[in-house]
Amino acid sequence: MNDMMNQVNEQMAVLPLWIHYWMNWMVLIFLLPVLFVWKSKAARYVLVALILTMPLGMLVFYFTNNAHLLGIAHLILWAPLLFGLIKYEIKRTDFKFASVYGIWLALLMATISISLVFDIRDIAMIALGHK
């Protein structure tokens, strides 16, 4: 397992600095639901998705040996999460974007959306032999 993590870290180390900033942002935005877990089922789902992303990503890496394909884990876990947040959370009658929770949720959904675009692009580029 340590060898696999070293391989992932080696592949990630050569990525541009802005990608490292983006990944740090994603970790931050996915950890913020700890502020809301006691009152929000959606925040609990976000934390579960975060917790499951790492082992699923490592499973993807185990079979592909390509860090650019870690986004497959995002597609499997985050796409349904995003649709669920849109369908059930922001359509609640008591939901307010003009609240700390609403701002976090808007930032989270934007982050997921942007990440999924990058992930789909990476997967397509690998499938076409460009990465």
CA-nearest of 34, 12, 31, 25 to 122 is 12
Q: Are 29 and 88 in contact (CB under 8 A)?
A: no
How confident is the model over 41-45, as a mean pLDDT?
Answer: 95
Tell me: the pLDDT tens digits for 85-114? 999 998 888 889 899 999 999 999 999 999
How confident is the model over 28-56, as a mean pLDDT?
Answer: 95
How confident is the model over 25-30, as a mean pLDDT?
Answer: 96
The first and second tokens of residue 104, run together, are 């976090």
Alpha-carbon span 79 to 66, nearest angstrom: 21
Residue 131 pLDDT exceeds 80: no
The first and second tokens of residue 37, run together, are 């877990």
Residue 119 pLDDT exceeds 90: yes
Own/partner contacts of 87-90, CB < 8 Å, gap of 24 or more, are 88/42, 89/42
The first and second tokens of residue 8, run together, are 């992932």
Q: Write down the pLDDT at residue 84.
A: 96
Q: How many domains does the chain have?
A: 1
* Domain membership of residue 31 as a residue range: 2-127
Alpha-carbon span 8 to 46, nearest angstrom: 24
More confidently predicted of 85 and 2: 85
- pTM for this structure? 0.90
Q: What is the mean pLDDT of the chain?
A: 93
